[in-house]
Amino acid sequence: MTSISKTEMHMNSSDQRPNDSNIQQSAEDFTAGQANAHNIYDKNDTYSLGNRAKLEQKMEEKEKEPNWRDEYHRMNPTSIAEEHGNKPSSGARVDEELLREDEEMLRKKDERRR
């Protein structure tokens, strides 16, 4: 067999043809990747300046958006321990009592103003 006929044989083989289901990929497939695969502050990382700027902008936007879990835990200091099946610490219980007292005091002040 000549090298040309060997090449043609491999090209006509079924394992060399693309799978039709993989051809139509969404844009999300190309933006999705392994988390922390790149370190934008590593000088050996080969991000272009444009891609690095876009990534930094995404990181800043992510930091600005509120996280509902943080807000929930801030309003319920004992919730973290309870979610993990533990007894809340005495400090968390005191914080929860103080929050309740503050809410009651604010509600009373609002009622007085009306």
Residue-wise pLDDT for 72-100, tens only, equals 777 788 888 888 899 999 999 999 999 99
Give the pTM.
0.40
Residue-wise pLDDT for 3-55, tens only, equals 666 666 666 655 555 555 555 556 566 566 667 776 767 777 777 788 888 88
CA distance 87 to 85: 7
56 is written with which tokens?
Answer: 């930094």
CA distance 109 to 114: 9
